[in-house]
Structure 1
């Protein structure tokens, strides 16, 4: 199939903007808890009425400071309640939010604030303020800097005390549906980040149709979602706005270091994350079981869950014997895993990278279905996702209702719909390259099956061509290898080479457990064990699993265990955990050469 679409389920407003949502919520659901806020270590509810009042108070401060309709305002912070509040406050002042990753370097801050012409920026902590201050002389448009951890919200609220309600009403209505809501700078796997202009209409189309298609997951007054993805990333932004659109209770946490504890205390009914989060849940549970001497029981339970999930879609249904085994393991294992995920949830949505069929079947088999989706910054995040009632594991689902997915003659995935960005900020050439005749060229390679389910098989620019002329899509192998508990990251190499190789980094969290179980010296690291025969054999098993997904010509023949990690600080990965292949290839050129040394 070359093209597929579904009818829209949500009528996108012809006018208005995203601030309409919080006014509607306060009018229709005044006492419903739409936010969860951490205060002194405990979650407290924020009603729709309270949230609207707090947003408007901050918006008054922005107006008092001279922020005008259409001005760009930077927002540089980890994911927290104030992010959502200030995002809506910026819109309520008639301005445009420019997210900046809180991990951004001073050079990246300078580029994003300078390219967008930001009139002000709100940062979270001292390090963020220092980064802005270090480049402020090169940002002539920047007039104000506020810091959340030094009372930015209170400062804005006090400054706006004299601004009238009528003024806020006027400013809140200033932006129209086709005006920019935000300029989200791409992570920049190659070159400088480009600013994707996403309109209010685009987010209405995106979140409205997403919520309608996944209606049972977005029940006002019952459902809740915990946002732990970077709010600066478009996926995190989609979670924020979909929750407000529904509305359902939204909680924000700044990182995933204590995610298990946060899930247990917030108890979300819905989780939205990236595959690495779900891999960690599985690997942590398996490692704990092994440490407790229950590794064999866990593996049997995992295999039963996978078999059970596969049988669910089979012609004969689930065999009686398998049902009985599944029931036993549900009490012994699965219920405990669901408790780790908060205990109330039945569904999750995963994006950002392929989840993998085995993991998809495992989670569905334990009673926690992970619906895989696909999208880009340019499509307001999800442009395809698996419906809750017709999941096809191994695909990224059907197109967002009201949009179209087309497969070009060369296999590239093309997108069309109201959720697509309007162009790159100050970059007509890049816009012209990406948008042709109303179609966005994603750069991804994919296929559509007879039911319109999309499968992504690689990136056009990441296709490796070996010296023998074999085309290799690295993501297929990398995702399988990365699924091993000991593997942190993997990058396949081989462009112009006689065979395919791989660079592998070790997950230090699991290395300690593995080393203890295999009699290695205490304090062993990837540096000390990179040539260890047992570790290499374990990584070889991960490579063998990856090779099972591809032909012999595409399989990894040699690998190198690296003594270090791919880090965002070093420029190896983006904040959304995508590999910057050119940077990795440059920094580890000697390791790559070692793979091909005779």
Structure 2
């Protein structure tokens, strides 16, 4: 082992199961609002559900589950978007000792069949008729499946009615026999290669990072004396979303659900609910930034926004140096500029997130440092944390008052981190999973003496801050033997407004290459800004301008790496990587192997065109493409 970081120990407060915190809050603070939901037909009004009201809903549904034969240890799948019923269902299942199996509602028929069969589910809860048909088409291969409940057909009301004869004491008796180390969730990995693996997560494992974060960082969720408010829109089918739910219920925060993650719906929910704390993944933060820029350009304020963004990053970087003891902080001129933009720009940007949030958390993958500095500079500090399904979410967090952008912070109290000689991150602590169900060999390979081999690579600095550099299996080795971690290059490429997605390739190739897709909304806006005459040569001039713009994005990404690691060839693709073509997982992660197979012809053509071209300086290579690189074709 080459690097090691150990956070101060902490004591887990969990003595039973996850449902206990809801019942305890209802007993101690019954009128405290815990959930908010919109009445049917309303898009702006939110009604609050108190702790005692939520507890009663959960208890009544738990009785219906008992009447339907759901018993401790049974596994029940929830195949739904992030909605109010998800929370009620999960706590009702935990109250009777059942295990929740989250399934992405966008999962394919084969994925649904695999998960329900591998987990041995006895019931599945779906949203609509289409999902019922998906499950119905595979029922013949699922002998243990006894129930398919449809939310939109009133399944929860029917369950409550079925359980009316069950005494409340039965629910309490079952809830009290749930132990902290009982399995609460079977969470399936994204499955970037082969079948997804079911990770057994205990009640203690899921509660541990939530309790540590609430103890050390909970007071930052809202101004003093106010209840924190969180808009949950990330899928509860992912451990990050589950952790947000746990944080809210265990910490007494007010949580609202937004099942529709379209740009319009999310923007509306943020403006009406006005969260005090914002959770998202890097792609959301990137999209919000690009929307800010596009809106400014459309209104003729693009130059103003870019100056304001640069000032925000400079101000945040100077503030970071000051809090880390490396500099005096922002100078007088910078403070003056920042104050000017606060009045004219920054407060309006914060209003897009509801206007109340001053802190946020990014997870799922590393956040670009420049993007992190931008948000800090406009008044919303984004904590970049690290965790994975096998650790029930959180492993690291930024220490308050010592935040360092570009890293994912330090190990949470009670969690140990080591970086092996080959760069792989190893984790040990109370949130590490119990193992992969039905796969002892994979479990033994992942766990050794309590240490989890994460598959991620990174480094620890002298103060214990962790930086993630990529996935071990994603490392590219060129034909010259150079090892390249693609994540940082892809991240920097996506910072350009025109770039939607990027996949760096180059295994056994003479140099590093990239496959790029364009953001359709920003591309339309960009085309509209071109002052081109409408004649037969317009398309050619537009294509040349677009080539130069993407070349600038590649050059900007290359500025952060050595020449041997830089992108030397690239191709703009006519189609995005998405779920429909199997190039993204349900958690929106790239299926790299699938991308390379799917675009094998384009990759070969890209390198062949490069080998035929005369050798040129790097600047020349990035200022022109081969004729076959037709971004409109």
**Fold shared, TM-score > 0.5 on shorter chain:** yes
Name the SS for the 1:54 alignment partner: helix
Question: Residues 10 and 225 from structure 1, CA distance in 2 versus in 1: closer, same or farther, beyond 3 angstroms?
Answer: farther
Q: Using the alignment, how far apart are the partners of 2:502 and 2:97 within structure 1?
A: 44
Match of residue 143 from structure 1 = 146
Q: Using the alignment, how far apart are the partners of 1:430 and 1:295 within structure 2?
A: 52
Name the SS for the 1:132 alignment partner: helix
Q: Which moved more, 1:331-340 or 1:309-318?
A: 309-318
Question: Residues 332 and 536 from structure 1, CA distance in 2 versus in 1: closer, same or farther, beyond 3 angstroms?
Answer: same
Question: Residues 225 and 548 from structure 1, CA distance in 2 versus in 1: closer, same or farther, beyond 3 angstroms?
Answer: same
Match of residue 121 from structure 1 = 124
Q: Which moved more, 1:541-550 or 1:491-500?
A: 541-550
Say whether the 8 Å CA contact 1:530–1:561 is kept in structure 2. no
Offset, 1:173: 2.1
Offset, 1:520: 7.0
1:299 aligns with 2:319: no
Q: Using the alignment, how far apart are the partners of 1:18 and 1:62 within structure 2?
A: 17
Matches within 5 A, 1:233-252: 233-252=238-257
Offset, 1:378: 0.3
Q: Using the alignment, how far apart are the partners of 1:247 and 1:9 within structure 2?
A: 21
Question: Residues 334 and 10 from structure 1, CA distance in 2 versus in 1: closer, same or farther, beyond 3 angstroms?
Answer: farther
Offset, 1:454: 0.3
Matches within 5 A, 1:169-568: 169-218=172-221, 222-257=227-262, 258-314=265-321, 315-519=327-531, 532-568=543-579
Q: Using the alignment, how far apart are the partners of 1:559 and 1:533 within structure 2?
A: 15
Name the SS for the 2:455 alignment partner: strand
Question: TM-score under structure 2 normalisation?
Answer: 0.92
Say whether the 8 Å CA contact 1:31–1:47 is kept in structure 2. yes
Say whether the 8 Å CA contact 1:383–1:399 is kept in structure 2. yes
Q: Using the alignment, how far apart are the partners of 1:276 and 1:312 within structure 2?
A: 25
Offset, 1:352: 0.9
Q: Which moved more, 1:137-146 or 1:311-320?
A: 311-320
Question: Residues 520 and 512 from structure 1, CA distance in 2 versus in 1: closer, same or farther, beyond 3 angstroms?
Answer: farther
Q: Using the alignment, how far apart are the partners of 2:541 and 2:439 within structure 1?
A: 45
Say whether the 8 Å CA contact 1:530–1:562 is kept in structure 2. no
Offset, 1:174: 3.0
Match of residue 12 from structure 2 = 11
Matches within 5 A, 1:33-112: 33-40=33-40, 41=42, 42-112=45-115
Q: Using the alignment, how far apart are the partners of 1:64 and 1:113 within structure 2?
A: 22
Q: Using the alignment, how far apart are the partners of 1:109 and 1:469 within structure 2?
A: 40
Say whether the 8 Å CA contact 1:218–1:246 is kept in structure 2. no
Say whether the 8 Å CA contact 1:371–1:388 is kept in structure 2. no
Q: Using the alignment, how far apart are the partners of 1:68 and 1:573 within structure 2?
A: 36
Question: TM-score under structure 1 normalisation?
Answer: 0.97
Offset, 1:519: 4.7
Q: Deviations over 1:487-537 (max 9, x none)?
A: 111000000000100000111121111111125799xxxxx9999111121
| Structure 2 residues without counterparts, runs of 5 or longer | 322-326, 613-633
Match of residue 525 from structure 1 = none
Q: Using the alignment, how far apart are the partners of 2:127 and 2:541 within structure 1?
A: 39
Name the SS for the 1:332 alignment partner: helix
Name the SS for the 1:558 alignment partner: strand
Say whether the 8 Å CA contact 1:380–1:420 is kept in structure 2. yes
Q: Using the alignment, how far apart are the partners of 2:597 and 2:468 within structure 1?
A: 27
Match of residue 577 from structure 1 = 588
Q: Using the alignment, how far apart are the partners of 1:115 and 1:22 within structure 2?
A: 30
Question: Alignment length, in residue pairs?
Answer: 592
Question: Residues 471 and 249 from structure 1, CA distance in 2 versus in 1: closer, same or farther, beyond 3 angstroms?
Answer: same
Name the SS for the 1:290 alignment partner: helix
Question: Residues 136 and 520 from structure 1, CA distance in 2 versus in 1: closer, same or farther, beyond 3 angstroms?
Answer: farther
Name the SS for the 1:16 alignment partner: coil
Offset, 1:172: 1.4
Match of residue 627 from structure 2 = none
Say whether the 8 Å CA contact 1:502–1:560 is kept in structure 2. yes
Match of residue 624 from structure 2 = none
Q: Using the alignment, how far apart are the partners of 2:278 and 2:548 within structure 1?
A: 35
Q: Using the alignment, how far apart are the partners of 1:241 and 1:384 within structure 2?
A: 17
Name the SS for the 2:385 alignment partner: strand
Say whether the 8 Å CA contact 1:270–1:348 is kept in structure 2. yes
Say whether the 8 Å CA contact 2:320–2:404 is kept in structure 1. no
Q: Using the alignment, how far apart are the partners of 2:186 and 2:522 within structure 1?
A: 38
Offset, 1:218: 4.0
Say whether the 8 Å CA contact 1:10–1:212 is kept in structure 2. no
Q: Using the alignment, how far apart are the partners of 2:581 and 2:541 within structure 1?
A: 21
RMSD of aligned residue pairs (Cα, Å):
1.5
Name the SS for the 1:532 alignment partner: helix
Name the SS for the 2:24 alignment partner: helix
| Structure 1 residues without counterparts, runs of 5 or longer | 523-527
Question: Residues 147 and 432 from structure 1, CA distance in 2 versus in 1: closer, same or farther, beyond 3 angstroms?
Answer: same
Q: Using the alignment, how far apart are the partners of 1:279 and 1:203 within structure 2?
A: 28
Offset, 1:221: 5.2
Say whether the 8 Å CA contact 1:188–1:194 is kept in structure 2. yes
Q: Using the alignment, how far apart are the partners of 1:239 and 1:281 within structure 2?
A: 20
Offset, 1:10: 4.4
Say whether the 8 Å CA contact 1:32–1:221 is kept in structure 2. no
